[in-house]
Amino acid sequence: MLQRRAAVVPVTVTSRSPGVEVHEFSDAELSCEFRTENDKNPRIEWKKIDKDVSFVYYDGRFVGNQRFVTVCVRLTLVPPHTPSCDVPSSALTGSLVQLRCRDRHSIPAAIYTWFKDNRALPIQLPNATYTIDEKTGVLTFQKVSRADAGQYYCEARNGVGPGKSCSGTRMQIDDLNEAALISGVLLLALLLFLCAFGGFYAHRHGLFSRESFWIPQCHGAAHISSQNLHRTEHM
């Protein structure tokens, strides 16, 4: 951005190269062309505009004439590094599954692409069972299915250098055996009912009045005598 401190003097500023891309640790040439009506020697300042405005520091003076100047600025652009990928090895059908990809070193921040079985997953696909946030690198399956099983990896790119990919990881999707789960719950409920009914039946028919008895259904139970039972009843 070009600033001029003189008051209310019309000035126009343009650039031959508004977008500059360079590799890390190389020089970048930023140029501007300006026109003034009266002031032949305006004050020129290069500034970096981000969340806050900061001065751009450069080595050397401006090069050029009164209408066109350039300055070499050393920028910091970092190509992508191999991203870290978090892909679960297995999941159950119908569950929420998230795959994560992150490169913390690239400047500017990387954009992420997910691949399944060596094919890029489209970000916007009608009736897709997944969503992809290319800025955060998160691939989300709201309800994963067996069709989503496969080998996944992601690629990070930021336009500075070649893209980098993590190694692929296979995700297996297993069916949730609902029939076996329901059968197990019913069997447990039946066992509890039989245990309660057996105790009630034994007490009703006076089986607890014998000298001693065993409860084989209770693991680790000790030999119980009727004397101990009567003693407990009077407490």
Q: What is the pLDDT of residues 139-193, one digit of tens each?
A: 999 999 999 999 999 999 998 889 999 999 999 988 876 666 677 778 888 888 7
**Helix residue spans in the chain (DSSP H):** 178-204, 226-233
Comma-separated ranges of CATH 2.60.40.10 domains in the chain: 84-174
State residue 232's pLDDT score: 44
State residue 12's pLDDT score: 76
pLDDT, tens digit, for every residue of 44-71? 666 666 555 455 544 445 554 444 455 5
85: Cβ–Cβ under 8 A, 6 or more apart, which residues?
99, 100, 101, 152, 153, 154, 166, 167, 169
Please check the confidence at residue 108 and state whether its pLDDT lies above 50.
Answer: yes
Is residue 42 reached through a cis peptide bond, with omega within 30 degrees of 0 on the bond before it?
no
Question: What are the structure tokens assigned to 161, written together?
Answer: 């250098």
Distance from C-alpha of 81 to C-alpha of 70, rounded to nearest angstrom: 32
Predicted TM-score of the model (pTM)? 0.52
Distance from C-alpha of 213 to C-alpha of 208, rounded to nearest angstrom: 8
Four-CA torsion 158, 162, 167, 170, nearest 10 degrees: 70
Cβ contact 154:161 at 8 Å: no
15 or 9: which carries more pLDDT confidence? 15
State residue 119's pLDDT score: 94
Reduced to 3 DSSP states, what percent helix, strand and coil does the chain have, rounded to the nearest 5?
15, 35, 50
Topology given in CATH for the domain delimited by 84-174: Immunoglobulin-like (2.60.40)
Please check the confidence at residue 5 and state whether its pLDDT lies above 70.
Answer: no
With the C-alpha atoms ordered 154, 158, 164, 166, is the resulting torsion angle positive or negative?
A: negative
With the C-alpha atoms ordered 138, 144, 145, 150, is the resulting torsion angle positive or negative?
A: positive
